[in-house]
Structure 1
Amino acid sequence: MSKQLKYLSAYSTEVQAQVETLITEKRLANFLLNKYPKTHTIANDNQLREFVQELKNKYLKKSAPLSKVTFDNKIHVINNALGLHSYVTRVQGGKLKSKNEIRVAALFKKTPIEFLTMIVVHELAHLKEKEHNKAFYKLCLHMLPDYHQLEFELRLYLTQIEFIGDIY
C-alpha cells in the first residue's frame, strides 16, 4: 500500500497491517456498515445544540454554559480536527466575559450517532480539561465507556473515506 494510514499512525504495525488488508480486500466498508448500518437524524445546528446540551446536562452540569454549538464546514478533517472547542475571554464594559463554543465538522452530519457522540464527548471534555491528558481521557470514559473503541472505529471510517470513499 503506497499511502500512509495517517489516522492510524499511533496504532501498532500489526493493527495497521490488518487495516491495510481490509482496504486491499475491499472489506473495510462492510465491516463499518455491519457495525454501524445507519446514520443519525440530527440535521441542523439547533438539533445538534439540543443533543450536546443533553450530554452536558447529564455529565457536566456544573461546567460553564455553551454559547454556541454548530456544524462547521470550515473544519477539515485533514488537519486532524474533527471538532473544535474554543474558549474566548473578552473584556466588555469592565467585566470579563467568556464564551465556550463547540464546532463539529460538517462531515459528521451523515454518520452513525456513535461517531457524533464520540466527537461531542471529546469536545465536552475540553470544558474541564484543556489538554489530552489522563484526566481528559478519564472524563471521556466516564461519559462514554467505549470511547476508545469508538475513536478507533471513527479513525477506520476516516481511513475508508480517504482511501475508497464515503459509505453513508
Structure 2
Amino acid sequence: MFEIRLTDKIKTLDDGIVYDNDKELAMILSIYGDLVTEVEKNGKNLSPEQLADIKHQFEWDYLSPDVAYSLIDLIELPKEIQRKLSYEQGYLNKKLVHKQKQENVLLSEYEQYGKSVAFRGYFNWAELDSDYVSDHVDGIKLFEIIRQGMLVSSRINNLKYDSAVALTNLKMLNKTKFKIYFL
C-alpha cells in the first residue's frame, strides 16, 4: 500500500510532499485521497472531517487543465510502479480499448495510483508499421496509444467517454521515454 504525507511547511515531514495552498491540497485529495495518510497545516494534523471539507470545496475546471499540471511533478509515480511497468509484457484486453483484434492493443495491463492510471505503451502495431526502420515512434502510433489510454482511464475512473480526446500536455523526458498526462 502506498501512502502520501502532505505538509504546508518545507521539510517538516521527512518523506512528505509540500503543498502551497488549500486549492492545491484539494486537487491532491481529489486524485489521491485514499492514499493520503497525514496532512499537516500550520503545524497541526488535519482531521478526516477537515480534509473532506477541503476536498468538497474544490471543483475541477476541465477547460483550464493547466491548473493541474503542477501535480504532475509534485506527485511522482512510485518507483515500484515504474519498475513493474518497465518489465510488463502483457497487454490489455482488446475490449477495453475498442479493438477487434488483440494484436492492435498498444497498452500493457495498468497500475493504479489513486485515480492516476499508468500503462506501458507499445509501438509494435503491425498494421501500421512503417516501410523503413527508424529509431522513433510514428506519430499515429503515439496518438493511438493516447486514445487507448484515455478510453481505459475513463472507464477505470467511471467517467463518461464522449468519443473525443484532447491532448493537453505531452512531456518529453528524454530521447527514449515520454509521459502522457490526461487532465
TM-score calculated relative to the size of structure 2: 0.27
Give the helix-richer structure, 1 or 2.
1
CA radius of gyration, larger in: 2
